[in-house]
Amino acid sequence: RVKIIRRLGVLSGLTNKIPQVKSSSSNQSTSNKKISQYRIRLEEKQKLRFYYGVSEQQLLNYVRIARKAKGSTGEVLLQLLEMRLDSIIFRLSMAPTIPGARQLISHRNILVNNFIVDIPSYRCKPQDFISMKNKEKSEFTINKNIELHPKSELIVNKKIDLHPKKKIDLHPKKKIDLHPKSEIPNHLTYNALEKTGLVNKIVDRESVGLIINELLVVEYYSRQA
């Protein structure tokens, strides 16, 4: 995972670790190299795949579904990925990462509308009620996740600005928060007292938890989808 984020950048869905910043001399040497359009599309596709933890075939299937749906193919693709149960659990901060959320689901600890769902790819819909089977375990899991990010506050229904105009200063001596996942996006509601979540609506583009150019991903699969 460390090798992946060194190559692709911060992927909070995959891991909480932040890649070390390379020296300016190495950055200059890499910036002088011409990067092909294929490589740019490939890296965007890899970012999407590793962030959501899906296989190559799964991502291709999602692209094919998105192409047949109404609206922007790229936005529909992101919606399909964001509305997966493992992504919802992660965005509710009920798990530290998407792999962590997937483990909770696979171990039959997650309830959707009071029924156990053990399929991470389960597609959530508006008004779905999310809870955990064991309340004591849910409190321990969620509190542990909050402890991992003591500076990050859980904010209900606050939009996340994932496209700031100002550039992020990546100076190694400065501490920065690169985990927008810690805030609850506006398509979800989290009940801190009951440790439960509610899906309000289909996620919109502004609330997607990853900085990505989804059009490049669609272009990458243009010959396959």
pLDDT tens-place string over residues 67-107: 999 999 999 999 999 999 999 999 998 988 888 899 999 99
Question: Within the chain, what is the greatest distance between any pair of CA atoms?
Answer: 55
Residue type, 30: T
Contacts of 118 (CB under 8 A, 6+ apart): 105, 106, 107, 108, 110
Residue 187 clears pLDDT 80, i.e. is over it: yes
Name all domains of the chain by residue range, CATH numbers in brackets.
2-220 (3.10.290.10)
Sole residue written with tokens 């927008």: 180
Q: 166-177, pLDDT tens digit by residue?
A: 443 434 333 333
Average pLDDT for the chain: 76
pLDDT, mean of residues 128-156: 64
Q: 24-78, pLDDT tens digit by residue?
A: 444 444 444 567 888 889 889 998 998 899 999 999 999 999 999 999 999 999 9
Residue 209 clears pLDDT 60, i.e. is over it: yes
**pTM for the whole thing?**
0.72
Q: What is the pLDDT of residue 148?
A: 56
Spatial distance between the Cα atoms of 91 and 101, rounded to a whole number of angstroms: 10
